[in-house]
């Protein structure tokens, strides 16, 4: 713990608190601060000018990170017959129908994404109280309720990331690993911010993006200049 504290203090000394850095510089600072013995996740935090308690201010969406997330994603699929076979062939980790629902009800939640064919939603709907709070409920708007099971599973395992604004309009997500090149992280960062800007809800008034920050799992946060990733403070794309 002492060494961890020393590493964190040393990393913080390279960063000016509250100063917005150009995206490329922020990425390099975050990479240099990732000194843990494991491959730390590079995380983005965005403070948005919305109140998610209002339906017309909810920010939610999905983005395909061009360089992948670096995370091993376990996918559960609700499907029957040929679509279940398609899911297995695509690499789904858990596949089933009523039997899968029973396993989830019993506490088997060892998956990161959940996909379903439309005909399975009456079964999946009964799991709303279990899947909903964990952000795992399949949603047609996010492409997780679909007949294209192969595409959905492949996307989930290939770097697709869901995002959703939490209380106070804070949005968190992993956009890569410290082992990624700075260029790869920067490309993922750009794609993520673009997706959030495009997901701006109709009820969002005034400033949309209040703050963007990057950090590694155990590193300090580095503020990112929103304009350097193609979005001004109002959330309008400037590129």
Q: Looking at residue 107, which CATH number applies to its domain?
A: 3.40.50.790
What's the pLDDT at 209?
94
Q: Please state at what angle helix 182-198 crosses helix 23-33, rounded to 10 degrees.
A: 120
- Look at residue 2 in the predicted model and tell me its pLDDT: 52
The residue among 107, 129, 157 that closes a domain is 157
Q: Are residue 60 and residue 176 in the same domain, yes or no?
A: yes
pLDDT of the residue at 235: 54
- What is the distance of C-alpha 231 from the center of its chain? 19
Could you tell me the pLDDT band of residue 15, with boundaries at 50, 70 and 90? Answer: confident
Whether the pLDDT of residue 12 is over 90: the answer is no
- Which one of 157, 175, 198 terminates a domain? 157
* Residue at a domain's end among 127, 157, 187: 157
The pTM score is 0.84
- Structural domains of the chain, count: 2
DSSP 102-157: HHHHTT----SEEEE-GGGHHHHHTTHHHHGGGT----GGGT-BSS-HHHHHHHHH
Q: How far is CA 51 from CA 6, 56, 115, 141, in A?
A: 38, 9, 28, 20
Domain shared by 41 and 109, yes or no: no
Domain extent, residue 186, equals: 18-69+160-229
In a domain, 45, yes or no: yes
We report the CATH number of the domain holding residue 24 as 3.30.190.20
Output the average pLDDT for the chain.
90
Q: Please, is 227 exposed, middle or buried when counting C-beta atoms within 10 Å of its C-beta (0-12, 13-18, 19+)?
A: middle
My answer on whether 79 and 153 are in the same domain is yes
Residue 121 clears pLDDT 60, i.e. is over it: yes
CB 165 within 8 A of CB 48: yes
Least confidently predicted of 111-120, 159-168, 181-190: 159-168
Confidence check: pLDDT of 1 > 90:
no
Residues 6+ apart with CB under 8 A from 67: 159, 176, 180, 184, 185, 187, 188
Residues 55 and 169 in one domain: yes
The reply to whether 152 and 79 lie within a common domain is yes
- What tokens appear for 157 in the block? 């395992």
Residue 9 confidence class, pLDDT cut points 50, 70, 90: low
Q: Is residue 151 domain-shared with residue 91, that is, in the same domain?
A: yes
Residue 49: pLDDT band with limits 50, 70, 90:
very high
- Per-residue pLDDT averaged across 123-135, rounded? 93
- Tell me the pLDDT band of 239, cut-offs 50, 70 and 90: very low
Q: Are 153 and 190 members of one domain? A: no
Domain check: are 64 and 165 in the same one? yes
If asked whether residues 80 and 150 sit together in one domain, one would say yes
**Within this chain, do residues 166 and 124 fall inside the same structural domain, yes or no?**
no
User: pLDDT category, 17, cuts 50, 70, 90?
Assistant: confident
94 with 165, same domain?
no
pLDDT band at 14 (very low <50, low <70, confident <90, very high): confident
């Amino acid at each position: 713990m002492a060494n961890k504290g020393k590493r964190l203090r040393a990393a913080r000394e390279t960063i000016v608190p509250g100063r917005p850095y150009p995206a490329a510089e922020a990425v390099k600072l975050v990479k240099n601060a990732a000194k843990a013995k494991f491959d730390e996740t590079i995380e983005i935090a965005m403070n948005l000018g919305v109140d998610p308690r209002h339906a017309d201010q909810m920010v939610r969406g999905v983005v395909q990170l061009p360089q992948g997330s670096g995370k091993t994603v376990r996918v559960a699929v609700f499907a029957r017959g040929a679509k279940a076979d398609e899911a297995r062939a695509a690499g789904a980790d858990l596949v089933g129908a009523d039997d899968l629902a029973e396993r989830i009800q019993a506490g088997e939640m060892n998956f990161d994404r959940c996909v379903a064919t439309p005909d399975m939603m009456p079964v999946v709907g009964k799991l709303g109280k279990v899947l909903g709070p964990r952000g795992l409920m399949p949603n047609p708007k996010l492409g997780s309720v679909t007949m294209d099971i192969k595409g959905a599973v492949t996307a989930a395992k290939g770097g697709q990331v869901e995002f959703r604004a939490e209380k106070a309009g804070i949005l968190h997500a992993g956009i890569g690993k410290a082992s990624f090149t700075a260029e790869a992280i920067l490309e993922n960062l750009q794609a993520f911010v673009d997706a959030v800007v495009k997901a701006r809800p109709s009820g969002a008034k005034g400033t949309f993006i209040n703050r963007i920050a990057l950090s590694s799992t155990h590193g300090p946060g580095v503020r990112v200049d929103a304009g350097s990733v193609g979005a001004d403070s109002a959330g309008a794309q400037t590129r």
